[in-house]
Amino acid sequence: MTEPKQTQAGPYVVELGPGEYWWCSCGLSDNQPFCDGTHDTAGTGLKPLRIEIAKRREVALCGCRQSKNKPFCDGTHETLETPS
Ligand code: FES
């Protein structure tokens, strides 16, 4: 299994309407922070995480890939010294 790639040193703060979304867990998608299927073509062994939004709201999605509450930011990025 491939280690996930950090795509930015902080969260992606996005407003999402009701629906289903897939957070990119590998960091290789060209459509950050969402999955574009690259995890499969690159053979990472990683899978995207599903996000279900019931009511329009702002969410902070992890960009450093180190959160312990993926796909959401938990502040872990603040403890990282250098991008991974
Ligand atoms: S961006 Fe990863 S924990 Fe905040």
Q: Where are the domains of the chain?
A: 12-67
Ligand 1 pocket test target in 72, 77, 80, 81 with most atoms within 8 Å of CB: 77
Architecture of domain 12-67: 3-Layer(aba) Sandwich (3.40)
| Start-to-end Cα distance in the chain | 16
pLDDT tens profile 1-51: 689 999 999 999 999 999 999 999 999 999 999 999 999 999 999 999 999
**CA-closest candidate to residue 42, choices 54, 30, 53:** 30
Number of Cβ within 10 Å of residue 23's Cβ equals: 21
> In the numeric block, which tokens belong to residue 60?
């902070």
Secondary structure (3-state) at 52: strand
- In this structure, the residues whose C-beta lies within 6 A of any atom of ligand 1 are 10-11, 62-64, 66-67, 73-77
The pLDDT, as a whole number, for residue 1 is 66
The answer to whether the pTM exceeds 0.85 is yes
Amino acid in the structure at residue 42: A
